[in-house]
Structure 1
């Protein structure tokens, strides 16, 4: 009987923790600053952006976040490079993700 009660308390605590974890709102925020892709400005960018179809894109990361260049469209495939805050680089990929 004691084992059953103890197991019930443990399972109840785990279930309560899971519910709280799922109910808590996310804290994701956009990067602060301006991201330039082929000289087009994106203020406080967040999410996935397409890069040039036929030629690599010039990316100027004037935000506080890292811009991740992906090999495929829609930020799919693999990460090919990271463009750190304050850097300008040629994006050798098909899309870029920043948060």
Structure 2
């Protein structure tokens, strides 16, 4: 009886965790170009040039965020909306 109760309790806990856990993050669909280098279906943080602004072309379905710091830290400098090509005056770019 105790064995059955433990098994049912474990199953209930697993079901609760499965329902409470958000879905896995997915990469943006499309291509993010950084200085003309393609990054297909990008996700995460990408470094930009250290000494000169980088050209970023966002041909994805997500907004890319330019950050002042080299590891997507500091503060957001500006967004790059889907379809936009711009000179990014920052140190990194983040996209989901």
Tell me the TM-score range normalised by the shorter chain. Answer: 0.7 to 0.9
The answer to whether 1:46 aligns with 2:43 is: yes
Residue 86 of structure 1, aligned match among 62, 70, 83: 83
TM-aligned CA distance change 1:25 to 1:95, over 3 Å? same
State the alpha-carbon separation in 1 of the partners of residues 51 and 91 from structure 2. Answer: 9
Aligned length in residues: 82
State the alpha-carbon separation in 2 of the partners of residues 26 and 52 from structure 1. Answer: 33
Deviation at 1:25, TM superposition (A): 4.7
Deviation at 1:28, TM superposition (A): 1.2
Name the structure 1 match of 2:6.
none
Structure 1: segments with no counterpart, 5+ residues: 1-15
State the alpha-carbon separation in 2 of the partners of residues 80 and 71 from structure 1. Answer: 6
Name the structure 1 match of 2:93.
96
